[in-house]
A and B are shown apart, each in its own frame.
Chain A
Amino acid sequence: MLQTQDLSKSYNGHEALKALNLHIAPGDIYCLLGANGAGKTTTINLFLNFIEPSAGRALVDGIDVMSDPVAARHRLAYIPEQVMLYRQLSGLENLIYFNRLAGRDLALEAYREVLHDCGLQADAADRKLGTYSKGMRQKVGVAIAVAKQARALLLDEPTSGLDPKASNEFSQLLMRLRDQGAAILMATHDLFHARQTGTRIGIMRDGVLRQELAADEVSHGDLERIYLEHMH
């Protein structure tokens, strides 16, 4: 579903990503771990065609994102680290607007249900976004991704800034989407969350994928040790 073939990206001579090869099948949650500047966000931006690769290809459902970025994005949902929405609209109105941009529409009650499923309190749905906390904005961002019913999800540190309860609820939601057959690529710093939620874990450093692990074959302690070994 999500695939890269020798995907590379350079900025002014600096190689941010070096010949990355990934394959994320439906039902996979692939967690990319790494320090800042490891190439995690670059990988996601390349999948979205927000930036162009220096070499290699990124494929979504077999579609080369360079040759048909719009078709590729139709099959993707994206949750950035900071979900930025329209402050003058309510959470519900933001959800409706973004879903219609994606060419989809639902009944009003269905939109409320999606927001509720994503953990947003019912009385908050009609409030202006300017009154929301970061966690609430993040939930609306998740709701936008869920309502799109995309077959692949790209998550860029989605739990950053969320409280433990909200983070746990988010993990539960991801696992539900995984069970429904979504292919998920998640960039994160959170080792615990990666091991708890992911099916596979990739450790990146300096634009290189150093090691891949199956999440159920490694303990939290081992994961932490392996990660730190790669960081030194």
Chain B
Amino acid sequence: MESIGIMENAANLSAGGFDVVFVIVFLMPIVIIALMFDLLSRERELGTLPLVIAQGVSLQDFVIARVLSRGLLVLLGMTTAGLVAILAVGGPAALWPDGVSWLLIAGLYGAFWFALALFVNTLRLGSDQNGVILASCWLVLVIVIPALVSLLAATLYPAPSRVFLTTEIREAAAEAEERAADAREAFLFDHPELAGGDEAQEAYFRQVMETEQDVAATIAPLLAAFADQSRQRDGLVSRLSVLSPALLADQALMGIAGMDASRSRVWREAVSEFHAAWTGYFAERIRLERPVTSAELEALPVLAFTEPADRHLQLATGLLLLIMSLVLLICALFRLRRYPIA
């Protein structure tokens, strides 16, 4: 998952990948597996199950009570970690609705792992086998599938090389400067009387501006291709995230925290638009040799960024996690009805 988002995520670039989302998505399932792998199998191995059930509790009630007691522990730890992170970053204002959504998604992701562990316990295998199965599930759902999705996205929509992009910008700048120098030399050859005067200086600055515009026009298709590949890659990853609850949770939690790729892209596009408007505003006046009046200062272009409204994504993620958990839970409860006691 890191390989998907890390190029876009400034926080990850500065602080590394160990954040509260990493704790929830990677580490919380391990804690749940450690608490749950022998929930029922251990009772069977100890031989205590017949005496327990003979006391007058149904197996379903007994198991659900044990799951809830363990779930409470995890929920307490998860909520504490989440609240500390939310309050530390955003203060009390971040609690509603983002903080609550964040905790809900994290809770549903935990519920999925509890339901999966319960289902594995109903397979009537030994505790060691349950442990191996659950560890394998963790490996596949949290590591392998996200890595494969990342690999597939990078293969189908390879991002243009940043080194290539930098080289192209440098080459375009050098060529534009060369063209500008040639033009300036030709201009002074035709108008030797203007050499060294104020007009020559103004002409030089105009030339600089035109050079920059030339560079921008040259690299624009490259940047557009870069953005397009990035958009297609993110779209594919988003579609394939249904293959892994870990991917779903990671994307939703990052989205709520405002650290997801789509928000980053919207932000970059807003900055690019502002850059174009800002330079265009002054370039036009430089070209027409028309100074900015004090009245026009009020109308200077401003950066406009609108938060992408993708609450539906978190809602869909929450629903998917809920459905996955419920399906596993129902299957587990159904299997418990035929679980051998004696």
Specify which chain B residues have a CB less than 8 angstroms from the CB of A103 in the assembled complex: 56
Which residue of A45, A69, A78 is within 8 Å of B51 (Cβ)?
Answer: A78
Selected A-B contacts with CB under 8 Å, 24 pairs: A48-B53, A48-B54, A50-B341, A51-B342, A73-B56, A74-B56, A76-B54, A76-B56, A78-B50, A78-B51, A78-B54, A80-B51, A82-B47, A84-B46, A85-B48, A86-B46, A87-B46, A98-B55, A101-B55, A101-B56, A101-B62, A102-B55, A141-B51, A154-B54
Nearest-CB residue, chain B, relative to A70: B58
Asked whether A50 lies within 8 Å of B50 as measured between CB atoms, the reply is yes
Specify which chain A residues have a CB less than 8 angstroms from the CB of B55 in the assembled complex: 73, 98-99, 101-102, 148
Specify which chain B residues have a CB less than 8 angstroms from the CB of A82 in the assembled complex: 47
Q: How far is the CA of A218 from the CA of B50 in the complex (A)?
A: 35
Specify which chain B residues have a CB less than 8 angstroms from the CB of A148 in the assembled complex: 55
Residue B323 CB within 8 A of the other chain: no
Specify which chain A residues have a CB less than 8 angstroms from the CB of B46 in the assembled complex: 84, 86-87
**Helix, strand, loop or mixed for chain B's interface?**
loop
Asked whether B52 lies within 8 Å of A50 as measured between CB atoms, the reply is no
Q: How far is the CA of A148 from the CA of B47 in the complex (A)?
A: 20
If the complex has contacts A50-B341, A50-B342, are A80 and B52 also in contact, measured as CB distance less than 8 A?
A: no
Nearest-CB residue, chain A, relative to B54: A78
Residue B57 CB within 8 A of the other chain: yes
Specify which chain A residues have a CB less than 8 angstroms from the CB of B342 in the assembled complex: 45, 48, 50-51
Q: How far is the CA of A188 from the CA of B56 in the complex (A)?
A: 24
Specify which chain B residues have a CB less than 8 angstroms from the CB of A99 in the assembled complex: 55
Specify which chain B residues have a CB less than 8 angstroms from the CB of A45 in the assembled complex: 342
Specify which chain B residues have a CB less than 8 angstroms from the CB of A144 in the assembled complex: 51
Q: Which of B47-81 contact A (CB under 8 A)?
A: 47-48, 50-58, 62
Interface size on A, residues (CB 8 A): 28
Closest beta carbon of chain A to B50's beta carbon, Å: 6
Specify which chain B residues have a CB less than 8 angstroms from the CB of A51 in the assembled complex: 340, 342
Asked whether B48 lies within 8 Å of A84 as measured between CB atoms, the reply is yes
Q: How far is the CA of A200 from the CA of B87 in the complex (A)?
A: 72
Residue A83 CB within 8 A of the other chain: yes
**Helix, strand, loop or mixed for chain A's interface?**
mixed
Q: How far is the CA of A58 from the CA of B55 in the complex (A)?
A: 18
Q: How far is the CA of A154 from the CA of B341 in the complex (A)?
A: 16
Q: Give 6 nearest A-B pairs by CB, closest first.
A: A84-B47, A74-B56, A78-B54, A50-B342, A102-B55, A101-B55
Q: How far is the CA of A87 from the CA of B48 in the complex (A)?
A: 10
Q: How far is the CA of A51 from the CA of B338 in the complex (A)?
A: 9
Asked whether A69 lies within 8 Å of B54 as measured between CB atoms, the reply is no
Q: How far is the CA of A45 from the CA of B57 in the complex (A)?
A: 16
Q: Which of A160-213 contact B (CB under 8 A)?
A: none
Asked whether A101 lies within 8 Å of B52 as measured between CB atoms, the reply is yes
If the complex has contacts A45-B342, A50-B342, A51-B342, are A84 and B56 also in contact, measured as CB distance less than 8 A?
A: no
Closest beta carbon of chain A to B254's beta carbon, Å: 42
CB 8 Å contact bits of A93-113 with B (1 = contact, 0 = none):
000001101110000000000
Q: Which of B206-254 contact A (CB under 8 A)?
A: none
Q: How far is the CA of A50 from the CA of B47 in the complex (A)?
A: 14
Nearest-CB residue, chain B, relative to A78: B54
Specify which chain A residues have a CB less than 8 angstroms from the CB of B341 in the assembled complex: 48, 50
Q: How far is the CA of A154 from the CA of B47 in the complex (A)?
A: 17
Q: How far is the CA of A163 from the CA of B48 in the complex (A)?
A: 23
Asked whether B50 lies within 8 Å of A70 as measured between CB atoms, the reply is no
Q: Which of B48, B54, B57, B58 has the largest number of chain A CB atoms within 10 A?
A: B54
Q: Which of B13-40 contact A (CB under 8 A)?
A: none
Closest beta carbon of chain A to B45's beta carbon, Å: 10
Specify which chain A residues have a CB less than 8 angstroms from the CB of B51 in the assembled complex: 78, 80, 83-85, 98, 141, 144
Specify which chain A residues have a CB less than 8 angstroms from the CB of B47 in the assembled complex: 82, 84
Q: How far is the CA of A102 from the CA of B54 in the complex (A)?
A: 8
Closest beta carbon of chain A to B211's beta carbon, Å: 79
Closest beta carbon of chain B to A10's beta carbon, Å: 16
Specify which chain B residues have a CB less than 8 angstroms from the CB of A98 in the assembled complex: 51-52, 55
Q: How far is the CA of A80 from the CA of B55 in the complex (A)?
A: 13
Closest beta carbon of chain B to A152's beta carbon, Å: 11
Asked whether B56 lies within 8 Å of A48 as measured between CB atoms, the reply is no
If the complex has contacts A45-B342, A50-B342, A51-B342, are A86 and B56 also in contact, measured as CB distance less than 8 A?
A: no
Asked whether B50 lies within 8 Å of A80 as measured between CB atoms, the reply is yes
If the complex has contacts A45-B342, A50-B342, are A73 and B48 also in contact, measured as CB distance less than 8 A?
A: no
Q: How far is the CA of A76 from the CA of B54 in the complex (A)?
A: 7
